[in-house]
Structure 1
Amino acid sequence: MTLQGSGYRDRLKRGSSAGTDVLSNMYSPIERPGQDLAKPGLAKVSETEFYGGTLTDTLSVADERVLLLLGGRIQQVNSDNFSPTGAVTSSYAKSAITPLVGLLVRPWKNVSVFANRIEGLSKGDIAPQIAVNAGQIFAPYKSEQIEVGIKIDHGRLITTLSVFQIKKPSGQLTGNVFAVDSEQRNRGLELALFGEPASGVRLLGGVTLFDAELTKTTSAATLGNKPVGVPSLQANLGAEWDMPWLPGFTLTGSLIHTGKRYINQMNTQSVPSWTTFDFGARYGTKVAGKSATVRASVLNAFDSNYWAGVASFSTLSLGTPRTVLVSATVDF
C-alpha cells in the first residue's frame, strides 16, 4: 500500500511596454533602429495552488502472475486572476476524487501484459500573450488516460510496446480572445527499450508515434486539426560504453528527434522537425580514498538551429546551442 502527497504554487507577474510595430520576418529579419521604451511595471496576473494525495494498493494472485492496482487521488486546485490594480477579477476552487486502476498479467515468466486507466485534475490553461486576455487562468479541468501494452524481458534487453489515449480540454483563439472551449485527443503508439545488450554497453531509448486531433471545437475550420505543439513523431536513444582498456572511463551519447509541430489551431503555421546529438564522457576514480567522478559533455554537438518548444499559441523557444558542460562530484 502506498500513500503519496504533493503540493505546488505559482504566481505570474507580467509587465509590458508597447513600441512601434516592426514589419519583419524571423527567418529573414529586416534591420530596424532600436526603440527607447520605458521600463514596464510588474503586476500580478494570476496565482495558482495545487494540492493532492494518492492512496494505492496492489493485490496479487497466482504467485504474482496477476497484479491488480487499485487506488484513488484527491486533488484540489485554487486559481485567482487579478486586474492591473491588484483586485481579484475571478476565482476558481475545484476538488475532485479520481480513480486509478491497473492490471498486469504474466502469461510467461519473461512476458507481462498490462493495462491502466487514470484520471487527473489539472490547473487550467493560461491565455497566451497574443490574446487580449493574456495571463488569464481558466478553470481546472479533468483529463483521462488509458494505456494497454506488453513488456518482454529478453535477458540483456527489455522492450515495451504500448498504445495509449489521452483526452483533455484544449484552448483556442477566436479572433484575439483565448478560451478553453475545445477537446484534444492524443492517441499514440510507443516502443521503448533499455538494458545492456553487450557487456559494458547500455542502451535507453524509444519511439512514439502520435495521432493527435481536435475532436471538439467551436469552429468548423479547426475541427479535426492537429493540436498546438504535438508532433507526429518523437524519438530518442541514449548509449553508454565502458571502455575495457581504461577502467572507470565511460563514453556517452544520445540522439533526440522531434517532428514537425503546428503553432496555431488553423494548422497554417508550423515549426520544422529537428534532431540533435549529444556526446560526453565520465571517469570514476579515487581521490584521497574517496570516490570521485569527472564528467564532460557537449550538448547539440553539431550546433543545430531549431525551435525547441511551442509553449503556447505563436510562442516559441529557441533550442539550446552547442553547449559544453564540465562537472565533478566527490563522496565525503
Structure 2
Amino acid sequence: MLLHTEYDLADNVTWFTDLGGSSAHVSRLSEQVPQVTNNNGDVSSAVGNYRFTTSRYTLATGVRADVETGSVTHKLSAQTSYYRDRQATGIGNGTAINSNIYNPVSSPAQNVAAPPSVYKRSSTALSGIALADTLGFWNDALQVTGGLRYQQIKSDNFVPGNSAPSSSYDKNAITPMVGVVVKPWQHVSLYANYIEGLSKGDIAPANASNPGQVLSPYKSKQYEAGVKVDALGTISTLSVFQITKPSGALVNGAGSEFVTANEQRNRGIELDVVGSPLEDLRLTGGVMLLDAELTKSVTPGAQGKRAPGTSRFQANAGVEYDLPFLRDLTLNANVTHNGKQNVNTINTQSIPSWTTVDFGARYKTRIYNAPTTFRADVLNAFDRNYWSGVTSFSTVSQGTPRTLMLSVAVDF
C-alpha cells in the first residue's frame, strides 16, 4: 500500500509526503537451492517446508521550491525519510534429492513437517535527510546541481530462538551529489555527475551457513557522463559510467559463511534510443557494453576476474504500431539479448548467451463509458530454452518458457 500526497504551500513551494507499507506471509513446500556437483550436471537438492514473513513500512516527506536570485534560478529540495523492515524465517527439512539438470529424475512427494516456529532473523532501520539545489544560468543553458545526504543504517541479526541480537550495525555517513548539464545547442545536452550512497548490506542466501544474516552497510560510488540528443522525433542518450561497491560472497562455496568479501567495479558505455519517427510508430532500443571486474576478493584466483552474473554485451529493441484501419489496436514486438555470464568468481563455469522475442497487442475501448484496455502478450514466443541469469552466490535461474498472458484493465 502506498499513499502519495502533495500540497501547494505557495505558487512556487510544494510540500509532499509518501507513506507506504507491506506485509508478506509465505508458506511453501519446495525443492530449494540445487547444487551442481560435477561437470556432467548432476545435482543434489534439499526439500524443505518453508515459512517466512516480511514486514516493511516507509515514510518520506519534504518540500520543493522554485526561486530566483537575480538572473539565476534555483530548484530547491529538502527531504527526510525513514524505512524499517523485519524478516523472520523457519524451515522443516526433508530428504535430499539427487538428479541431473540435463536429464531430470522424478521423485516421490515428501511429507515434510512444517517448522515449529518462525524466528526473527533481521531487523533494519534506514533514516536520512537530503538537501539539494539545482542552479540554472543563462535560461538553463548551464545547470549545476549540488546536494548532501545524511544517512543512518541500523541493522540487527538474530540467531533463531534467541531474542538478543547476534550482531548489530549502526553506521552513518554524509554523502555528496554533484552534477552539471550544459546545453551548447537547442537539442543537445552534455552532462556529468558523481554520487555516493550508503546502502543496506547484502542478505546471506539460503545456501550459506548464516542464511538470512544482513551484512554491514556499505558505501558505493558512481561516476557518469554523457550526451543527450532530442531530434527527429527521437531522444538518444549515450553515456559512460563507473560504479564501485562492495558485495557479499560465500567464503568457500555452498554451505560456507556469507561475508562482505568482494569489491566489484562496473565500467560501461550505454546507448538508449526512444522516439516516434512516424505518427503511428514508436521505437525503443538500447545497447550496453559492460566491464564488471572483481577488484577485491577473498576467493583465491578471483581477483581481477569478471564478476558473476554480468554479461559484456546486452541489447534490446522494441516497436509499437497503431493500425491505421483500426486506431484503437496496437501491435508490439520486443527482442532482448544477453551475453554469456560467469557462474562463479573464478570464471570456470558459465551460462551461454540468449535471445528472446516477445509479441503483444492491446485494444482500447469503452465499456459502460469506462476506459477499458485488453492486452494479450506472448513472452519468449519461439520457446527458447535458456538460463536467464546468475546471482552473486552462484544460483542459476531458468528462463521463462513460452507464456501467454491475457489481461483487462478498467479505469473508474
Common fold: TM-score over 0.5: yes
Superposed displacement of residue 186, structure 1 = 0.4
CA contact (8 A) 1:128 1:312 kept: no
1:109 to 186, 189, 194: 186
CA contact (8 A) 2:341 2:389 kept: no
Structural mapping, 1:41-190, within 5 Å: 41=116, 42-87=118-163, 88-175=165-252, 176-190=256-270
> SS state of the match for residue 24, structure 1?
strand
Q: Distance in 2 between matches of 1:289 and 1:171?
A: 54
Q: Structure 2: which 5+ runs fail to align?
A: 1-75
User: What are the Cα deviations for residues 218-260 of structure 1, in whole angstroms up to 9, with x where unaligned?
Assistant: 3441110111222212222222111111121111221222222
CA contact (8 A) 2:299 2:345 kept: no
CA contact (8 A) 2:149 2:174 kept: yes
CA contact (8 A) 2:385 2:399 kept: yes
Which range moves more in the overlay, 232-241 or 35-44? 35-44
Q: Distance in 1 between matches of 2:347 and 2:240?
A: 25
Which range moves more in the overlay, 165-174 or 16-25? 16-25
CA contact (8 A) 1:172 1:179 kept: yes
Superposed displacement of residue 217, structure 1 = 2.1
Change beyond 3 A, Cα 1:330–1:39: closer
2:348 to 268, 277, 280: 268
Which range moves more in the overlay, 197-206 or 254-263? 254-263
Between Structure 1 and Structure 2, the one with more strand by share is: 2
Q: Which amino acid in the other structure matches residue 248 of structure 2? A: G
- Is 1:38 matched up with 2:118? no
CA contact (8 A) 2:309 2:343 kept: yes
Aligned position for 1:240:
320
Which structure has more relative contact order (CA 8 Å, sep 6+)? It is 1
Superposed displacement of residue 25, structure 1 = 2.5
Q: Distance in 1 between matches of 2:148 and 2:370?
A: 45
Change beyond 3 A, Cα 1:133–1:146: same
Superposed displacement of residue 204, structure 1 = 1.8
User: What are the Cα deviations for residues 107-131 of structure 1, in whole angstroms up to 9, with x where unaligned?
Assistant: 1111111101101111111222222
Which range moves more in the overlay, 20-29 or 200-209? 20-29
Which range moves more in the overlay, 114-123 or 230-239? 230-239
Change beyond 3 A, Cα 1:198–1:4: farther
- Is 1:300 matched up with 2:374? no
Q: Distance in 2 between matches of 1:39 and 1:284?
A: 47
RMSD (CA atoms):
2.1
User: What are the Cα deviations for residues 147-186 of structure 1, in whole angstroms up to 9, with x where unaligned?
Assistant: 0111112221121111000000122222222221321100
Aligned position for 1:218:
298
Aligned position for 1:325:
405
Q: Structure 1: which 5+ runs fail to align?
A: none
